[in-house]
Structure formats: C-alpha cells, structure tokens
C-alpha cells in the first residue's frame, strides 16, 4: 500500500496540536500558530505540523525585504509518532505546503544541537543555508 493510500493530511484546529507540542516535541512549548495540520492513519492523529509568523520581524524583512514581509511564515513544528513508514515526513511536509494559502514564503530551522540536519526540508526542495 502506498503512503498516499495509507495516510491523509488535513487542516486541524491549532488546539489539537498542543498535547503533541507540549509532550512529544523536544521544544516543549507552543509557537505562534497560524496554520495547523494533522497526519492521519485510519482517522487517528499520528503527527502534527504547524506554521506561524516568525518571532523576529527583522527576519521577515531580511528574507525578502519590507515589501514582501507579510508573506513570510515559519514552519515551526513537525512532530510525528515514531516507527512510521520511510519518507512519511517528506510526504507530510509536501502535502501541507500544497494546502497553505498562497502566496507564502516559508523558512524553517533544523536544530543541529539535537542532531537535526534539515534532511526533510532538503528532500522537499527547500533551499538549505
């Protein structure tokens, strides 16, 4: 069975992410959430992804200038259950990107301090800097 047949991605209420973000995500805090998405297997929530405005207005200006700063958002949380199918994270990110209202300019960060190298973002054609 293919990933797209086994899993679905849906927009969810931001409150549905809180338990995940506070107890499963390593940061243990709720970020700015403008958009929230759930990864489902047989109608069971098995992952969350959130997108919000970055904490730094200077970052938004610096990414693309003041003219486009209102379009800058951050993919700020990605958290799924362990033991899922290979490539599920890139599938989840890809599906959510297609569901976001356009136009959007997205940034995200990989925390090298805990061994994250941004491979998921690179696999979905983000520019790594």
Q: In terms of C-beta density within 10 A (0-12 exposed, 13-18 middle, 19 or more buried), how is residue 23 classed?
A: exposed
- State residue 129's pLDDT score: 72
Supply the mean pLDDT for the chain: 88
Q: What is the pLDDT of residues 6-34, one digit of tens each?
A: 999 999 999 999 999 899 887 788 999 99
- Where is pLDDT greater, at 55 or 92? 92
- In this structure, are residues 63 and 72 in contact, taking their beta carbons and an 8 Å threshold? yes
| pLDDT surpassing 70 at residue 115 | no
- State residue 108's pLDDT score: 83
With pLDDT > 90 as the criterion, what percentage of the chain qualifies? 56
């Amino acid at each position: 069975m293919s990933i797209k047949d086994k899993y679905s991605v849906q927009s969810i209420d931001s409150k549905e992410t809180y338990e995940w973000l506070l107890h499963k995500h390593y940061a243990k805090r709720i970020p700015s959430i403008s958009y929230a998405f759930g990864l489902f297997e047989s109608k069971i929530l098995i992952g969350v992804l959130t997108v919000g405005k970055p904490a730094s207005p200077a970052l938004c200006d610096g990414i693309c200038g003041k003219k486009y700063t209102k379009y800058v958002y951050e993919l700020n949380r990605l958290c799924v259950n362990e033991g899922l199918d290979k490539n599920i994270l890139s599938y989840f990110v890809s599906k959510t990107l297609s569901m976001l209202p356009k136009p959007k300019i997205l940034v995200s960060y990989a925390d090298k301090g805990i061994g994250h190298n941004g491979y998921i973002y690179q696999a979905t054609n983000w520019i790594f800097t």
